[in-house]
Amino acid sequence: MSLFLTFPFNWPESVCRVAASYILLKVVEKCNYLRCKWYCQRGIYQSVHIKSSFTGTMVKYFACVGLLKSSWDQVCIAFWERYPNPYSNHVLTEDIIFRDVTPGNRLVSRRLLTKTNRAPRWMEKYLPVTMARHAYIIEDSIVDPQNRTMTTLTWNISHARMMSVEERCEYRINPDNTSWTEINREAWISSNLYGLSRAIQEFGLARFKTSVTKTMKGFEYVLAKMQGDTPSRTLAEHAAERARETALVAKEKAKGLASQAHKKQQYV
């Protein structure tokens, strides 16, 4: 399949590259989204395995809708100021690679994030020591003040062959309450590691769900701080959160092992 893109001659090359990446990802996601749209209901997240028509790789699809009780303008400001916060200790650095304003008055940005991303022990033996503990993330964003939308595309560039996580978020005004902001989040988790791809995807999905929870809490923390009311994080909350994370990871890992055991019984 070939796709030819044409951009205005006065657009900088860097902006054209981001726009091209955005359009190509939209084409791929549209094919998957149409097949999985009915899995996602407002306020409820679901995940499902789908097969990419382009690569033939099994992909774990996830979708959810989040709600922040703050205006779209406040959320956009908080987006650029959300690090650091008590729920983002895994984010080590953030660097702006480039930023530009298009002729249509859209703010286009690309950032490089460095995060601690400790792999499970059974996976560490397949990775170099440095790669097993750090992850490098690319984040593209397009802020459209006219249509009051902000779209972000995020994907990992480190050890992506083992596990690739692509995330798309769209921030827009909540139709039921114009003073609130709605976040439509989608993610695609895939792995090309033969024999372990399903287990890796289950692990990646469990970690992604935990990350979404932390992201929303981090947003709420930064928004409260902007309004002069910083919420406190008690030790009980921290302990309960850690317990939920451990239970979720164990549950997803058990599903992966059960799936592998079932497949082995079919071949016996």
Q: What is the pLDDT of residue 246?
A: 74
Contacts 24+ apart (CB under 8 A), 240-243: 241/213
Tell me the pLDDT tens digit for each residue of 140-195.
999 999 999 999 999 999 878 788 999 999 999 999 999 999 999 999 999 987 88
Q: What is the 3-state secondary structure (H, E, C) of 22-69?
A: HHHHHHHHHHHHHHHHHHCECCECEEEEEECCCCCCEEEEEEEEEEEC
By three-state DSSP, how is residue 189 classified? Answer: strand
Q: What is the pLDDT of residue 169?
A: 97
Q: Name the helix (H) or strand (E) containing 140.
A: strand 134-144
Q: Report whether pLDDT(31) > 60.
A: no
Q: Report whether pLDDT(63) > 80.
A: yes
Q: What is the pLDDT of residue 238?
A: 56
Q: What is the pLDDT of residue 268?
A: 55
Which DSSP symbol is given to 230?
Answer: P
Question: pTM for this structure?
Answer: 0.68
CB 174 within 8 A of CB 235: no
Q: Report whether pLDDT(32) > 50.
A: no
CA torsion through residues 30, 36, 39, 45, sign: negative
Tokens coding 174: 């909540």
Q: Report whether pLDDT(94) > 70.
A: yes
Residues 6 or more apart from 82 whose CB is under 8 A from it? Answer: 88, 218, 219, 222
Between 91 and 31, residue with greater pLDDT: 91
Q: Mean pLDDT score of the chain, rounded to an integer?
A: 78
Tell me the pLDDT tens digit for each residue of 189-231.
999 878 888 888 998 999 999 999 999 999 999 999 998 875 6
Which residue type sits at 233? R
